[in-house]
């Protein structure tokens, strides 16, 4: 995406750069000229993408959700590749390879580095042949849970995160809280939504979904009914529940499958991509306006039937 992936403020670490002008022992002449520095812009460059921003505290499951969604998109829904010409294409390729190799071996992804936005600039090309279901650019943004804790009680985000939240770019928000710690994060989630509103985001108009991760800790891989998920949110996240109802926001649950714990290390023993599919399709439809498995127009279906 942008040429300078990590937007940094001007640095004045070198004291030599800040010496005041000195006219001692200097004879003024008509040739004296002080050039003006070119302006520095904090605007993100190469904004032609759809940005997906993950919110959640440490160990909430953000990295697991991201890696399993990417794996679903690449293994079942189409082609997923780093976007050519973006500055982090090589890094994205390495990270994607790690994600895909690890998930097939049952290894959970590493925690995200603090004060750093993990950014993946990708192109997703669906295997659906309908012209309505076209390729899209996706930029996934993931940050450390410790950074999200910094906004408690009116605190501020790290500048690397602020750059994206303040930029004029299309943002989709995935708000993650886990089955076993949701009751501790109700206030923080509301502080995050308040922060978005302070930045001029219209919550009723943006794409935002609340995801209850680690649903397998309930002893089940899915919910028996929509009421079961609603009751969980009303019970554990009452303030967030009011936000969801008032603004008409989306909600879902998530699991990567069966997790075993051996010698203090968790591993995936049975991979389940059903919730990765649901969330991936939600993202695509909210961006494009059509379902990822849209069957096409009458003439498209007729053409496909002849080919098959």
**What confidence category does residue 11 fall into, taking pLDDT thresholds of 50, 70 and 90?**
very low
Identify the domain containing residue 137 by its residue range: 51-292
> So what's the pLDDT on residue 58?
79
**CATH code of 174's domain:** 3.40.50.300
Residue 17 domain-assigned?
A: no
Looking up tokens 């904090």, which residue turns up? 42
pLDDT, tens digit, for every residue of 228-255? 999 999 999 999 999 999 999 999 999 9
* Side-chain half-sphere CA neighbours of 225 within 13 A: 3
What is this structure's pTM?
0.78
pLDDT tens digit string along 60-70?
Answer: 888 899 999 99
**Region 219-234: what's the mean pLDDT?**
93
Q: Is residue 1 part of a domain?
A: no
293-to-122, 250, 284 alpha-carbon distances in Å: 20, 20, 10
Q: Is the pLDDT of residue 98 over 60?
A: yes
Residue 81 lies in a domain: yes
User: In this predicted structure, what is the pLDDT of residue 104?
Assistant: 84
Q: In this predicted structure, what is the pLDDT of residue 95?
A: 78
> Mean pLDDT across the stretch 279-298?
90
Who has greater pLDDT, 36 or 273? 273
Give domain status of residue 13, yes or no. no
In a domain, 212, yes or no: yes
pLDDT over 50 at 185, yes or no: yes
Q: For residue 109, what is the DSSP state?
A: P
Enter the DSSP assignment of 261. E
Q: Who contacts 149 (Cβ-Cβ below 8 Å, separation ≥6)?
A: 57, 58, 188
**What average pLDDT score do residues 287-308 get?**
70
Please report whether residue 211 resides in a domain. yes
Give the residue among 166, 159, 190 at the shortest CA–CA distance from 177.
Answer: 190
pLDDT digits (tens, 9 = 90+) for 269-282: 899 999 999 999 99
Q: Mean pLDDT over residues 209-221, rounded?
A: 94
Q: Give residues with Cβ within 8 angstroms of 205, minimum separation 6.
A: none
Q: What is the DSSP letter of 85?
A: T
Q: Report the number of distinct structural domains present in the chain.
A: 1
pLDDT of residue 301: 55
Please report whether residue 287 resides in a domain: yes
Helix (H, G, I), strand (E, B) or coil at 147: helix
Calpha distance 61→277 (Å, rounded): 16
Distance from the first to the final alpha carbon of the chain: 39
What average pLDDT score do residues 223-232 get? 94
């Amino acid at each position: 995406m942008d040429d300078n992936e990590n937007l940094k403020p001007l640095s004045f670490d070198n004291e030599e750069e800040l010496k005041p002008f000195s006219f001692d022992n200097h004879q003024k002449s008509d040739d004296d000229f002080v050039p003006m520095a070119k302006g520095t812009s904090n605007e993100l460059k190469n904004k032609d993408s759809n940005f997906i921003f993950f919110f959640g505290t440490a160990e909430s499951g953000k990295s697991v959700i991201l890696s399993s969604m990417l794996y679903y998109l690449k293994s079942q829904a189409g082609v997923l590749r780093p976007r050519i010409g973006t500055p982090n294409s090589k890094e994205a390729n390495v990270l994607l390879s790690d994600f895909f190799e690890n998930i097939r071996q049952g290894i959970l992804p590493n925690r995200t580095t603090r004060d750093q936005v993990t950014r993946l600039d990708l192109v997703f090309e669906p295997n659906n042949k309908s012209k309505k279901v076209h390729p899209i650019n996706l930029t996934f943004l993931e940050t450390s849970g410790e950074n999200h804790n910094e906004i408690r009680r009116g605190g501020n985000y790290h500048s690397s995160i602020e750059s994206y939240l303040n930029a004029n770019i299309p943002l989709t928000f995935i708000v993650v809280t886990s089955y076993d710690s949701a009751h501790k994060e109700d206030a923080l989630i509301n502080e995050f939504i308040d922060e978005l509103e302070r930045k001029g985001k219209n919550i009723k108009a943006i794409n935002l979904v609340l995801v209850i991760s680690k649903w397998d800790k309930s002893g089940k891989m899915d919910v028996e009914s929509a009421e079961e998920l609603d009751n969980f949110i009303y019970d554990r996240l009452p303030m967030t529940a009011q936000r969801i109802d008032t603004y008409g926001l989306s909600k879902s649950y998530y699991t990567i499958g069966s997790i075993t714990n051996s010698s203090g290390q968790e591993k995936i023993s049975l991979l389940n991509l059903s919730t990765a599919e649901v969330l991936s399709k939600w993202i695509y439809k909210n961006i494009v306006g059509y379902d990822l498995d849209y069957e096409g127009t009458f003439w498209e279906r007729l053409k496909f039937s002849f080919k098959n």
